[in-house]
Amino acid sequence: MQFSRELDYLQRILYASSKVITEHLPKGQPYAEVSKVISVNILHFDLGKGDDYIYHGTTRFIGLHNQRELELSAEQKNLYAVQKIADLYPEYYLIELRNFNDVANNTLDEWVYFLKNEEIDEKFTAKGLNEAKETLDVLKMNPQERLAYERHQEDLHYQASMYQSTYVLGQLEGEEKGMQKGMEKGMVIGEELGLKKGVLQTARKMKQANINVTDIAEMTGLIIEEIDLL
């Protein structure tokens, strides 16, 4: 966002885009990894001579003799995952707020209206506008108001943390204890079944050794009907 007039602003955005490109290309990487840059410039002054309020600039290569535009080959489209050369180069958007007539015909105009007037019409539907307005409202606060706002936000964070630390964690701990209790009960049942199985095996061997059924019942604790089934 630029408030004061700057005659060489066009060169400035070119420099900024070039710097972003060079800084984000790791050493030793191919030029195919050059970052795509989209430069959005919100201007409170007239840049150059024109009566529109949004200008879009791209890079195109036009034949000097046949005036046809140079296109990417099939291999390049596949390698770069784009359809035209302009998609590889920086794009520039110049939004001249002074030329906007405050009539919002689409969601982009709604954003321009907000940027120019710092307010939102209740009929606006552009995505993200309400969040942007909240941020702007905070930036426009005086130091005392912002301090009170930040303390309020901290209090909300604290309340959320307390809720998580008490109710949510308590619920999780309760579930964990329930699972632990179930596992312990299962282990006890498993041990009992294991002991029962061992007693039955012992009784079976005693029966095979022709030991009296009454004696087997006394030594194993089994009832005679259980021993008869072995």
Tell me the average pLDDT across 147-153: 65
- The model's pLDDT over 64-108, given as tens digits with 9 standing for 90+, comes to 999 999 999 999 999 889 999 999 999 999 999 999 999 999 999
Arithmetic mean of pLDDT, 7-12: 90
Beta carbons of 24 and 35 less than 8 angstroms apart: yes
- Could you tell me which of 6, 35, 24 has the C-alpha nearest to residue 94? 6
pLDDT band, residue 17 (cuts 50/70/90): very high
Distance CA 200, CA 226 (A): 9
220 has a pLDDT exceeding 80: no
Of 10-19, 66-75, 210-219, the least confident: 210-219
- Identify the pLDDT of residue 114: 86
118 Rama class: left (phi>0) / alpha (psi -120 to 50) / beta: left
- Give 155-206 pLDDT, tens digit per residue: 666 566 766 666 555 666 666 665 666 555 555 545 555 566 666 777 777 7
Rounded Cα gap, residues 157 and 63, in angstroms: 60
Q: At what angle do helices 107-117 and 129-139 cross, to 10 degrees?
A: 10
What's the pTM? Answer: 0.56
pLDDT of 223 over the 90 cut: no
What would the two tokens of residue 107 be? 């969601």
Rounded average pLDDT over 120-135: 83
Domain assignments of the chain as residue spans, ordered by start: 9-99, 147-228
Looking at residue 32, its pLDDT comes to: 87
% of the chain residues with pLDDT over 70: 73
- The size of the chain, in residues, is 230
Buried b (16+ CB within 10 A) or exposed e, 99-112: bbeeebeeeebbbb
Taking only the tens place, the pLDDT of each residue in 19-66 is 999 999 888 888 888 889 999 998 888 888 888 999 999 999 999 999
Q: Where are the alpha helices (DSSP H) in the chain?
A: 9-23, 74-80, 107-117, 129-139, 143-163, 169-208, 213-220, 224-228
